[in-house]
Structure 1
């Protein structure tokens, strides 16, 4: 029974396989290309010959057609034309197969022929567009000349109180803007506005690269613009910034040049000046000096204060208002430190000379009055066995004897012009562009007087 079922199943599978094979054969027959009213070989050859004759570079192709099989012979300029003519032949109706026997031309003359043809086409196009090209060039030249003319008319920006560097930067921007407008008009006349996007994209990439490469230069330039606009100092001002002190000589687009008090030149980047604290000693003609003196703890500080003030008041060059002052600074181990302050007019009195002379006069007055200015000392008390043998302390004077301030020989405390003379000589010999406004002779004379 079981063997019968297996035999029946095998017979059924065999019948199904024969049915599927018949269906596959019928589908294969249906997919076959049926040639009905196919064009004759002569018609195919004429059609392909007309096509190749109309394409430059395919005039020498030889075509033969036999039973729908196309044979291509001859020479073409390059492999691209060889592939193109074969693709065209395959698309023709009635073509069964294409035998591509074309050869590429290897002669130099044949290779240069397409390039020469393109050059002739470009030359012909240029000749046709020559009047329009001349108009475009004329537009660029006219707008460039207009930009240069406007760049020289900086009176409007000067009226706003802008500095020379800011004015020059604004004029350059105006000139570039006007010239760019002329270039855009020229490109519009030549119908090449698509080039603008490419140029702007390339300019943006180049600008980013240059920005990273010249970051410090750009920072110093912008800092120079801000310094020339804010005017925190002028030529000849004595300033101190970042631990460096000197007179301002030049402000360039990159750095600031100082002449130190010992005659040396210091170049400080503008970005460093604008980001660092700066002290200008020349803006206020009055300047205060100070120094500290240590006196004995046993002295009457009121009398010491009165003597120091009277000494400074009698000194030439010290201003009566604001008047000199003496302040008790601190109480040390063996001294009382006092700070002595006095004011001078820098236009008439040299700061360093006045301070030096004030220290000398105060010390002389203290020495004559018997005011002790001790160094740090240590006091040792020795214990005695007999209390009756101990010495009794002497009474301290309640009042200090009056000390007259004697007239001292005249000491030169006038302003020192040695640095000023070197400064003016260097300023006259310098060929660098100075962004600071020049100091007039009248103003310079007031500073020296």
Structure 2
């Protein structure tokens, strides 16, 4: 039985030769590893000495090597050189350990020596490149002068019909382009064309940042260029932008200055004028005013219309062509609303005065003719037909009496020049830029062409 067990164990062991090999390896004694041609301590010290002699700032380093251990003593110019020398020494073949006992030099002369050496190198390089530097500077100066000269030759753009602001903007672009060409030539002479890409990248980033920061200023400036080019108004024109009205004083690169009818200065950003509806009341010397009148529903509207037209036709300042008109606007419960319209010449007649006098005279004519302008109430009328017929027959006589009355003779609709006088005084006293051309009689109330 014991023989069969021994035989089985032997077969199992023979079937695992790897296990036997591992067991044999583990039983082998430790042996010494030979190093062939290992460098001597003197060779390590000599090699490291050659390295320190070739690097500035390591002249005062003392090197000693014993059994592969490198010992560094002395002073170095900076902590960076100290760390670099430690890294170099540890990479040499045969070095086991590096003892760095180096100290950083604290003397002022030792600290200034590397800077002085770099300055001498830069000075030598500058002296060698001095001719190229002079040529580069000369190219920039010449192209800058050429750009300035071209920027003053704006007669061609003015001949095309561009405004002063648009012409100035175009000349600035010309000067910028010509000067940029000179800078590119200078960079090419200095072999620094790679700097152009970096400059363009920085300029792009700066441009985007400035665009967001000064977006409103840029919008107003470009709007000023468009306004000065299109000329939608001139000095002295009476305009309305949104709900703001006034007479134009000046156009600047940022805003448009108006003088309101109460004598105040109103500044409107140019971008708002470009994007908002604008009405110029001065371009057409003829202007129509209108007002509504409510009359009784029992009256003859033909008689009401004829009386209003005849009253306005004989009023000073009202044009006969286009002639005044009266339109039935609305039929209400207790009154009929009619709209009275008439035209004036703004060069001779003030708009507000004419409208005010027209309302007054029409009301006077209606009162004298017995034309009632009822209140919004309901009343019961007991009409005497005989008296009614007599009142109708006397309507024409009352209208004629209104036309020949002293009230008609006292009508004043002359042009009001008080705002124009204030505007002229402001233009003569202010030194602020004005992109609008001066027009001799523009501020006096004459319309633009």
Quickly name the TM-score band, shorter chain normalised: 0.7 to 0.9
Rounded Cα–Cα distance in structure 2 between residues aligned with 1:216 and 1:109: 57
In structure 2, the CA distance between the partners of 1:266 and 1:66, relative to structure 1 (3 Å rule), is same
Q: Secondary structure in 1 aligned to 2:372?
A: coil
Structure 1 CA distance for aligned equivalents of residues 383 and 428 of structure 2: 75
Q: Which residue of 1 aligns with 2:21?
A: 19
What is the deviation of 1:392? 9.3
Q: Report 1:98-177 matches (<5 A).
A: 98-177=98-177
Contact in 2 for aligned 1:52/1:61 (Cα 8 Å): yes
Return the offset for 1:14: 11
Query: Match of 1:209?
Result: 209
Displacement of 1:318 in angstroms is 1.3
Structure 1 192/309 Cα, relative in aligned 2: closer, same or farther at 3 Å? same
Contiguous gaps of at least 5 residues in structure 2 = none
Q: How many Å apart are 1:108 and its aligned residue?
A: 3.1
Residue 388 of structure 1: aligned partner = none
- Equivalent pair of 1:76/1:82 in contact (CA under 8 Å): yes
Partner of 2:324: 324
- Structure 2 Cα separation of the partners of residues 392 and 167 of structure 1: 77
Contact 1:303 1:400 in 2 (8 A): no
**Which one has more relative contact order, counting CA pairs under 8 Å at least 6 apart?**
2
* CA distance in 1 between partners of 2:365 and 2:70 (Å): 127
Using a 3 Å threshold, how does the CA distance of structure 1 residues 218 and 380 change in structure 2: closer, same or farther? same
Cα distance in 1 for partners of 2:29, 2:294 equals 122
Show the counterpart of 2:446.
447
Q: 1:116 to 1:65 in 2, by over 3 A?
A: same
Following superposition of structure 1 onto structure 2, how do residues 217-236 of structure 1 map, counting pairs within 5 Å?
A: 217-236=217-236
Shift of 1:8: 4.8
Q: Deviations over 1:357-379 (max 9, x none)?
A: 21122122222222122222212
| 1:183 corresponds to 2:183 | yes
- CA distance, structure 2, for counterparts of residue 392 and residue 421 of structure 1: 56
TM superposition score normalised by structure 2: 0.87
CA contact (8 A) 2:317 2:344 kept: yes
- CA contact under 8 A between 1:286 and 1:343: conserved in structure 2? yes
Q: Which moved more, 1:42-51 or 1:357-366?
A: 42-51
Residue in structure 2 matched with residue 300 of structure 1 by the alignment:
300
Distance 1:206 1:180 in 2: 17
With the length of structure 1 as denominator, give the TM-score of the two structures.
0.87
Q: Where do residues 288-437 of structure 1 align in structure 2 (5 Å cutoff)?
A: 288-379=288-379, 394=385, 397=389, 400-401=393-394, 402-403=396-397, 404-405=399-400, 406-407=403-404, 408-437=408-437
Q: Does 311-320 or 92-101 show the bigger shift?
A: 92-101
Give the whole-Å Cα distance in 2 for the aligned partners of 1:209 and 1:27: 76
Deviates more, 1:260-269 or 1:40-49: 40-49
Q: In the alignment, does 2:41 pair up with 1:41? A: yes
What are the Cα deviations for residues 187-220 of structure 1, in whole angstroms up to 9, with x where unaligned? 2222222332333333222222222222222222
**Hey, what's the Cα distance between the residues in 1 that align with 2:107 and 2:72?**
20
| Greater displacement, 73-82 / 403-412 | 403-412
Per the alignment, do residues 135 and 27 of structure 1 end up closer, same or farther by CA in structure 2, a change over 3 Å counting? farther
Q: How much has 1:444 moved relative to structure 2?
A: 5.7
Alpha-carbon shift at residue 261 of structure 1 (Å): 1.0
Secondary structure class of the residue paired with 1:447: coil
